Amino acid sequence: MDIKKQYINGEWILSNSNQTREIMNPFNKEVVAVVTESDRTDAKAAIQAARDAFDHGEWPTMTSAERGAIVQKIAELILRDKEELAYLETLDTGKTLEESRWDMDDIAGVFQYYADIADKNGGEIIDSPIPNSESKVVYEPVGICGQITPWNYPLLQASWKLAPALVAGNTLIMKPSEITPLTTIKTFELMEEAGVPKGVINLVLGPGNTVGAELSENTDVDLISFTGGIETGKTIMRAATSNVKKVALELGGKNPNIIFADADFDIAVDQALNGVFFHAGQVCSAGTRVIVEESIHDEFVKALVDRVKNIKIGSGFDEDTEMGPLISKEHLQKVMDYVNKGIEEGATVAIGAKQPEDAALQDGFFYMPTILTDCTTDMSVVQNEGFGPVITIEKFSTEEEAIKLANDSIYGLSGGVWTKDIAKAERCVAKMRMGTVWINDFNIYFPHAPWGGYKQSGFGRELGKTGLEEYQEQKHILLNKQPEPSNWFGFSDKK
C-alpha cells in the first residue's frame, strides 16, 4: 500500500520520523490506508513554511476577489470528486454513504459561501470626532493559523476552518484527527489543484500530544482553532498562553431536546430519533437529553422504542443501513462503560444497552441504539457526553422545570424545543443557555448562520460572517488631513 504523505511548503513528503500509521475501517477493522506519522520537527517545518508564505508570499496581499476565486474553485473540485470523498469518509468513519454525501454537499457549500462573501467585507468608515480627519477600519489576516480537527466529521469540521482562513488571507497548518485523515489529505490535493500557492496550506498528520501540541505551543502560530473534546480544549488553551495566541474552541455538547405535550407528536418522535442516531450518536450537537412533558411521557417512550426496534445497523456502504459502527474499540468501551454506569445509578433500559448479536457485525465496533428512562439530572449518563447512540429520558411538568433541566449542564452547544405554542417556545429559547436552539426542528446548520457554544462548549464562532471575522484582525486607521501643532510640551512660558 502506498504511504499517504504530509503536505509542507507545496511538497508531498514523508515525515522525519519515518513512522507510519494504519488507518482502519471501523466496520470490519480492515486496514484501508497507511499514512506517514508526522512528529514535532515536521510540525515546526510546516509552521516555518506558513510563516514564510505569510511574511513574503503573495497570498495575504492578493485581492480578496482573487482569493475568493480560488476558494470557489475548491468548492467546484469538491463537487467534482464528491463520490470519491464520500466513499473515503465512510471508509474511515463508518457513517452511512448517504450521510457522507450530505456532508460533501455541505462542505462544497461552505467553500462556496466564503468565496461569495470574500470581497463583501471591505471595512468600515467611522464618523471621526477629530476635525479634518478620516477614520476607517480595515480587516487584515491574523497570520499563521493552526487548525486541529476531530474524527467524527473530519472534512466538514476542516472546511469550517479552511475556507474562512483562506479568503481572509491567512496561511495555515492543519492537523486532522490521526484516525480519520483520508478526506483531508484528498482535499489538500484539490486545494493544490485549485491553485493555492506554495506554503499557504500545510498538512501534518499524527497524534495530538506531539504534532497538535506543537501547533498550540509554538510562538510563531498566531491563532489556534480547535474542534474536539473539552479536556483537549483546556490543554490547548493553556498551551496558547505561550504567545497569547488567539484561540477558538468548538467543544462538546450534551444537548437537551424539550418535548411539550402540545408538540406534533409524530414529528417530534421522528426528529428526536434523527437528533441522536445519525452517525451512531457521535455528533457534538446530538439531542441525547430528551426532556418530555409528564403527560405524554409513556406514550412518547413507547413510540421511540417501537421505531428504534427497526433501526438497521450495518456497513455504511450498504444502502439499507441506517446506522453504522462507532469509531474504535476504545470508543465502544467508553460508550459501554458510560451506559453501564447510568444503569448502576438507577436508569432503566427501555431498549438496547448492548452490542448486537448479529454474526455479520462482530468484526465492527457496533453498539445497539439505546434508550434509558427514569433518568434524573444528577446522573453521570445525563451530565456526561457519551458520544454514542444513547438517549436519556427525563420528565417535566412545568415550563420552568423544563428550562431548568435543559440548562443543568456544563455544556451549552445546542438544544431543541417542540411545541405548537410559539410564544411558549420563544419564552424557553430566551432562557436556554446554548449557542443554537431549534424550535420544531433539530440539528440544522448551514454556512450562513454562526455555530458555537456557550459555557464549556467553547468560545468563538464558526460559519457565517462571524466565522470569517475569527480569522481577521481589525485595524483602525486615522488620517489627519490638516495636522496642527498642539503646543503642549516644552514651552517655558506656558500657563
Ligand X SMILES: NC(=O)c1ccc[n+]([C@@H]2O[C@H](COP(=O)([O-])OP(=O)(O)OC[C@H]3O[C@@H](n4cnc5c(N)ncnc54)[C@H](O)[C@@H]3O)[C@@H](O)[C@H]2O)c1
C-alpha pair distances (Å), 151 with each of 26, 180, 282, 326: 12, 5, 9, 11
Return the ∠ at Cα 154 (arms to 9 and 142), rounded to 5°: 50
- By CB under 6 A, is residue 88 in contact with ligand BTL? no
Q: Which is nearer to ligand X, 35 or 301 (CB)?
A: 35
Query: Strands 256-259 and 414-418, how do they pair?
Result: parallel
Task: Single out the residue of 15, 64, 183, 227 in contact with ligand X (rule: CB under 6 A).
Answer: 227
CB 287 within 8 A of CB 275: yes
List the end-to-end C-alpha distance of the chain, in Å, as a whole number. 85
Max Cα–Cα distance, the chain, nearest Å: 99
By CB under 6 A, tell whether 113 contacts ligand BTL: no
> Which residue among 7, 114, 139, 153 contacts ligand BTL (CB under 6 A)?
153
Among the listed residues 89, 250, 293, 394, the single contact to ligand X using CB under 6 A: 250
Residue 147 found at the interface with ligand X (CB under 6 A): no
Three-class SS state of 290: strand
Picked from ligand X, ligand BTL, none, the partner binding residue 445 (CB below 5 to 8 A depending on kind) is: ligand BTL
State the Cα–Cα distance between residues 185 and 5, nearest whole angstrom. 8
Quick one: cell of 285? 450537537
Closest CA to 98 of 331, 324, 356, 362: 324
Integer CA distances (angstroms), 25 to 99, 182, 188, in order: 16, 11, 22
Among 252, 275, 316, 324, binds ligand X (CB under 6 A): 252
Q: Which three cell numbers stand for residue 487?
A: 503646543
Q: How many residues form the binding site for ligand X (CB under 6 A)? A: 32
Q: Three cell numbers at 230? A: 473539552
Q: Examine residue 158 and tell whether it contacts ligand BTL (CB under 6 A).
A: no
List the interface residues with ligand BTL, window 271-300 (CB under 6 A). 283-285
x/- letters, 381..400, toward ligand X (CB under 6 A): ----x-x-------------
Strand partners, 417: 258, 439
Question: Which positions from 274 to 313 touch ligand X by CB under 6 A, shown as an x/- string?
Answer: ----------x-----------------------------
Helix (H) or strand (E) holding 379: none
Between CA 379 and CA 372 the distance in angstroms is 12
Binding flags for ligand X, 183-212, as an x/- string (CB under 6 A): ------------------------xxx--x
Q: How far is the CB of 475 from ligand BTL (least distance, A)?
A: 31
Query: Which of the stretches 194-202, 224-232, 297-305, 389-397 binds ligand X when contact is defined by CB under 6 A?
Result: 224-232
The residue from 25, 96, 112, 177 that contacts ligand X (CB under 6 A) is 177
User: Near ligand X by CB under 6 A, which window of 9-17, 110-118, 250-258, 374-382?
Assistant: 250-258
* String of contacts with ligand BTL for each residue 432-451, x by CB under 6 A: -------------x------
CA proximity to 180, closest of 153, 198, 144, 201: 153
The answer to the question of residue 251 lying near ligand BTL (CB under 6 A) is: no
Q: Does the footprint of ligand BTL cover residue 100 (CB under 6 A)?
A: no
Q: Does 332 bind ligand X (CB under 6 A)?
A: no
- In contact, 106 and 449? CB cutoff 8 Å: no
Minimum distance, C-beta of residue 151 to ligand X, in the bound complex (Å) = 5
Q: Which of 37, 42, 81, 178 binds ligand X (CB under 6 A)?
A: 178
Nearest residue (CB) to ligand X, 258 versus 284: 284
The only residue of 253, 275, 287, 316 in contact with ligand X, by rule CB under 6 A: 253
Return d(Cα 116, Cα 454) in angstroms, integer: 28
SS (H, E, C) 438-488: EECCCCCCCCCCCECCEECCEECCECHHHHHHCCEEEEEEEEECCCCCCCC
- Nearest residue to ligand BTL on Cβ basis: 284
Q: Which is nearer to ligand BTL, 334 or 427 (CB)?
A: 334
CB of 271 to ligand BTL, least distance (A): 15
Alpha-carbon distance values, 197 to 107, 110, 172, 192, 468 (Å): 21, 21, 12, 7, 20
Task: Tell me which of 36, 48, 187, 216 binds ligand X, using CB under 6 A.
Answer: 216
Min dist. Cβ of residue 142 to ligand BTL (A): 22
CA–CA–CA angle 410, 414, 415 (5° rounding):
100
Q: Which residues pair with 204 in a beta bridge?
A: none
Closer to ligand BTL by CB, 25 or 152: give it.
152
Contact between 224 and 247 under an 8 Å Cβ cutoff? The reply is yes
# residues near ligand BTL by CB under 6 A: 7
Active site residue 217: no
Active-site residue identified among 37, 99, 214, 250? 250
The β-bridge partners of 403 are none
Rule CB under 6 A: which residues touch ligand X? 148-153, 157, 175, 177-178, 207-209, 212-213, 216, 227-229, 232, 235-236, 250-253, 284, 385, 387, 413, 453, 458
Q: Which residues are catalytic?
A: 250
Rule CB under 6 A: which residues touch ligand BTL? 152-153, 156, 283-285, 445
